[in-house]
Amino acid sequence: MQGSKTDFYRTFLNNPTEFIRAGFSGTQAEKKNLPEHRAEQFYRLQETKAQVARTILHSHKDVGDNNTFYESAKLSDLQEINSRFFKNLYDIRYNKDILKRIQGIKIVADAFEFGLLYVFGFLNCWGASVIRPTVIIFISFLFFAGLYSIYPINPTISNPFQKSFDITMLAGYTNQSRVDQPKGLRVLQAIHLIVSVMLYSIFFSTIFLRNSRARV
């Protein structure tokens, strides 16, 4: 496969992930034991896979089933980050340009972005599911209600389910958070708020996407 020449036009692949994984790079026989050469070939392979994965995604906008389309979306997003990650890893280790070696520290941001994107994608099946974020919001409500019910504070929280409901629904956060509360409880409530905001962001973006057009 070649990123600039491998093209798919109205082509349906029922296993795009396996197709991309099957790609490999053959190193030159006389250089096969050189770590730098192998590292360069590997990151270039990841860049090629990212380009091909993007082409597959564009093709699946027109043909194929929804499941394969969303799988292609996942594949394209993650492979793009993979290609940047291994390019920066190569620069840190082998690049002769000291500036590019320093810029390779962006590998930390790549790893964080990969983890964040993977979590967000999992929460809504990469745009395919509205039910999953809804269920996770309900689980979040029960989880934090349980934490509030066992939180070691005197006096104990009288209605942990109401507190969890207010913060999970976002509208009641100001009613539940006060400056005279213990610091640990305020931190817990802040974490609860952040989780709720993230879940609702995923929920509403998925709803809007599905109601407008699923394949965009």
Look at residue 216 in the predicted model and tell me its pLDDT. Answer: 46
Look at residue 20 in the predicted model and tell me its pLDDT. Answer: 92
Whether residues 75 and 108 share a domain: the answer is: yes
- Domain for residue 4, yes or no? no
160 token code pair: 């942990």
Whether residues 35 and 116 share a domain: the answer is: yes
Q: What is the pLDDT of residues 88-117, one digit of tens each?
A: 999 888 888 888 778 878 899 999 999 999
Question: Rounded distance, CA 92 to CA 81, Å?
Answer: 17
Angle in degrees, CA 168, 136, 198, rounded to 5: 60
Q: pTM of the predicted model, to two decimals?
A: 0.75
- Domain for residue 138, yes or no? yes
Structural domain of 62 = 16-127
pLDDT category at 53 given cuts 50, 70, 90 is very high
